[in-house]
Amino acid sequence: MSKTNRGSLTVLDIKSIANKKGVELPFFTARVQAGFPSPGDDYVESNLDLNQLLIKNPSATFFVKVEGESMSDAGITTGDTLIVDRALEAKDKNIVIASINGELTVKRVWIANGKVFLKPENNDFSPIEITEEMDFDIWGVVTYVIHKV
Amino acid sequence: MRDYIALIDCNNFYASCERVFDPHLKNKPVVVLSNNDGCIIARSNEAKTLGIKMGEPYFKCKNLIKQENVKVFSSNYTLYADMSNRVMNIVKEHFVNTEVYSIDEAFISFPSENLSEIENRFIKLRDKIAKWTGIPVSIGVAPTKTLAKVASKIAKKNSGVFSLFDKTTRNKILKELPIGSVWGIGRRLNKRFIRLGISNAYQLSTMDHKHVKDLTNINILRTAIELGGIKCIDIDSQPSNKKQITTSRAFGKTVTDIKFLEEAVSVYVSRAAEKLRIQNSKCSIITVALSTNRFDEKNTHKFLFMTESLESSTSSTQELISIAIKLLKRIFHEGFMYKKAHIFLSGLEDSKFKQYSFKDNIKDIKQQDKLMKAFDKINKTFGSDTMKYANTGISRDWFMKRERRSNRYTTNWNEILKINL
């Protein structure tokens, strides 16, 4: 992770979101003093919290770092961080983390003619058909990509 | 409406945590080692089948491990604690009255009118925990904590959920349960009961109450009554603060130099002081101890210690370090091969109700409290040891051996799971 990410405090700490209870109070900046208080004080609302936006189920959410180009057309490339929610049921067209014979991979679920495929998002790669003999598990559903621009 | 008790127990917890992040380990034997890679402290079912024993020193089963290609991990408590929190939070979302009993067990108390719906409810909970966190759990349900513990063991061998309400079934199970496997019966009591001809749990449950109490103590009487299906031990959903805080760990190698010991003691005191502040306590007694290797056959085992009572209780890392170093210098004896250092903090009181003495400089104490608060906040936000006292050393080459630790997948950005697309 880049330095800026490390600097953004609680936002990135899974443990602290899981434990957080109650509402964080906004921080009032203006001191009580003789003179005019800041006219903004009455309008202070809580801070924006990325966790709130990106993480629905903290106990089931994990982060994964990826390398490779097989998902580049879906906007997932080397160095990106994925947010993975294990609580979600994987559905057709979802991007998932799956394990095939013990190997973890990121692909799109594709159901066609009663068959299940894991589809890469890059024409240089071909889809994998999931068959009975494979040791196949869905590890989690990818909900967001953190991509440095 | 009656209240019932369930025990949620994570299966082979540490080994299961390792498996979540490496599907290759599925159906393979996995073991986890204690601090310093000393003994086996967790085994997957496959490792149990191979005959690897709980608590067995690693060097003793090294050959078997190699032969059978068992995956070995150093303990990764950061990961286990986080995975435990996840499991416990899911349980707490469903049941208000939850007691986190250990890193991998939680008791819950819940009302129910309808016995038949209970099992379904817990099958759903088990499946949810497995899906959300990847951790398999067993759940035992019964009228009492002691019986829930029995039920959870049976659950582990069966489908994962077992309820124990029916009296005939209960008696049958208790007759087959060795007395030493009952919750709360330790090794010594086990021996005593066996000598008295009490070898199974059923016998204890039907003994005369007064007789039990005369033979043992009130706690074992409670256990006996609970085995009979009557609740005596309540759910403790408000964990009470610890009365003593201990940090005691072996070094990665034996240490003879006091410089290293000073670093180690400073690190252990820092940890202990952090634990102290987490529960908002201050301590008034500190003990520092050093011990040599217990397994060394050439030299006798040494345990050196010294205690100091403080005039004014404190939770300040810097104050505690300076006292600990002073004690260390007094007990240190040149020429011994030290293997372990221990810090005990006791005489704890709530920070809010600190008794000030006349000699106390209240302003200094308040300032020190503020400093520690800032210190803890920085370390909580940026990771532990971002800020530390210089006494705790930079290289720390005496530090624990953890040669096979897996990544801290859930708490450290540099160690999160990596996948090749």
A6 and B132 within 8 Å at the Cβ level: the answer is no
Q: HSE (CB half, 13 Å, CA atoms) of B315?
A: 25
CB atoms within 10 A of CB B407: 17
The CA–CA distances, whole Å, from B314 to B247, B285, B317, B350, B351 equal 17, 9, 9, 10, 8
More confident residue, A96 or B352: A96
In sequence order, the β-bridge partners of residue B346 are: B285
> From the candidates A56, A61, A62, which should be mutated to test the interface with B, based on the most B CB atoms within 10 A?
A62
Q: HSE (CB half, 13 Å, CA atoms) of B190?
A: 11
Contacts A103 to B, Cβ<8 Å: 23-24
> From the candidates B71, B411, B419, which should be mutated to test the interface with A, based on the most A CB atoms within 10 A?
B419
In terms of DSSP H, where are the helices of B286-421? 317-331, 362-382
Contacts B417 to A, Cβ<8 Å: 62-65, 104
pTM of the model: 0.76
Q: Would you place residue A84 in the very low, low, confident or very high pLDDT band (cuts 50, 70, 90)?
A: very high
End-to-end CA distance of chain B: 54
B417 and A104 within 8 Å at the Cβ level: the answer is yes
pLDDT of residue A24: 47
* Closest CA of chain B from A14, distance in Å: 7
- Residue B146 has what DSSP assignment? H
Give the pLDDT mean for B270-285.
91
CB proximity A57 to B under 8 Å: yes
Q: What is the pLDDT of residues A37-83, one digit of tens each?
A: 566 666 666 688 899 999 999 999 999 999 999 999 999 999 999 99
pLDDT of residue B116: 81
Q: Would you place residue B216 in the very low, low, confident or very high pLDDT band (cuts 50, 70, 90)?
A: confident
Give the pLDDT mean for B270-287.
91
Residues 6+ apart with CB under 8 A from B278: none
Q: What is the pLDDT of residues B145-156, one digit of tens each?
A: 999 999 999 999
Contacts B412 to A, Cβ<8 Å: none
In sequence order, the β-bridge partners of residue B27 are: none
Average pLDDT over chain A reads 79
CB atoms within 10 A of CB A36: 7
Residues of A labelled as active-site residues: 70, 107
Q: Would you place residue B398 in the very low, low, confident or very high pLDDT band (cuts 50, 70, 90)?
A: low
The CA–CA distances, whole Å, from B149 to A66, B105, B230 equal 42, 10, 14
Interface of B with A (CB under 8 A): 22-24, 26, 82, 85-87, 89-90, 93, 131-134, 380-382, 409-411, 413-414, 416-421
* Closest CA of chain B from A31, distance in Å: 20
Strand, coil or helix: B278: helix
Q: Could you give the CA distance from residue B199 to residue B295 in angstroms, rounded to a whole number?
A: 34
Of B380, B413, B419, Cβ closest to residue A106: B419
Of A19, A97, A99, Cβ closest to residue B85: A19
A127: left (phi over 0), alpha (psi -120 to 50) or beta: beta
B23 and A104 within 8 Å at the Cβ level: the answer is yes
Q: Would you place residue B36 in the very low, low, confident or very high pLDDT band (cuts 50, 70, 90)?
A: confident
Q: Could you give the CA distance from residue A2 to residue B30 in angstroms, rounded to a whole number?
A: 34
| CA angle, residues B24, B79, B82, in degrees to nearest 5 | 125
Contacts B94 to A, Cβ<8 Å: none
Average pLDDT over chain B reads 89
| CA angle, residues B235, B240, B245, in degrees to nearest 5 | 135
Identify whether the C-beta of residue A117 lies closer than 8 Å to the C-beta of residue A128: yes
pLDDT of residue A16: 37
A57 and B24 within 8 Å at the Cβ level: the answer is no
Percent of chain B residues past pLDDT 70, beyond the cut: 96
pLDDT of residue B397: 63
Identify whether the C-beta of residue A59 lies closer than 8 Å to the C-beta of residue A18: yes
Q: HSE (CB half, 13 Å, CA atoms) of B24?
A: 7
CB proximity A134 to B under 8 Å: no
Q: Which residue has the tokens 């004080």?
A: A41
The CA–CA distances, whole Å, from A40 to A25, A34, B23 equal 16, 17, 53
CB atoms within 10 A of CB B128: 18
More confident residue, B396 or B274: B274
pLDDT of residue A129: 94
Phi/psi at B225 (5° precision): -65, -40
Q: Which residue has the tokens 């008791």?
A: B107
Hey, which of A94-98, B235-239, B409-413 has the most confident mean pLDDT? A94-98
* Closest CA of chain B from A135, distance in Å: 10
Indicate the burial class of B390 (C-beta count within 10 angstroms; 0-12, 13-18, 19 or more): exposed
Question: Does residue A15 surpass a pLDDT of 80?
Answer: no
Question: Does residue A104 surpass a pLDDT of 90?
Answer: yes
Q: What is the pLDDT of residues B80-119, one digit of tens each?
A: 999 999 999 999 999 989 999 989 999 999 998 787 889 8
**Least confident residue range of A80-94, B195-209, B239-253:** B239-253
* Closest CA of chain A from B412, distance in Å: 8
Q: How far is CA B28 from the centre of its chain?
A: 26
Phi/psi at B117 (5° precision): -85, -15
Give the pLDDT mean for B176-188.
91
**Least confident residue range of B57-61, B181-185, B349-353:** B349-353
- What's the per-residue H, E or C state across A8-64? CHHHHCHHHHHHCCCCCCCCCCCCCCCCCCCCCHHHCCCCCCHHHHHCCCHHHEEEE
Question: Does residue B311 surpass a pLDDT of 50?
Answer: yes
B421 and A71 within 8 Å at the Cβ level: the answer is yes
Q: Could you give the CA distance from residue B118 to residue A23 in angstroms, rounded to a whole number?
A: 34
Percent of chain B residues past pLDDT 90, beyond the cut: 53
Q: Which residue of B has its CA nearest to A118?
A: B421
Give the pLDDT mean for B190-217.
90
More confident residue, B252 or A4: B252
Q: Could you give the CA distance from residue B14 to residue B19 in angstroms, rounded to a whole number?
A: 9
State ipTM. Answer: 0.75
Closest by CA position to B8, among listed B153, B101, B112, B137? B137
Helices and strands, counts by H and E, chain A: 3, 7
More confident residue, B364 or B104: B104
Of B89, B409, B418, Cβ closest to residue A67: B418
Tally A–B CB contacts below 8 A.
97
Write down how long chain A is. 149
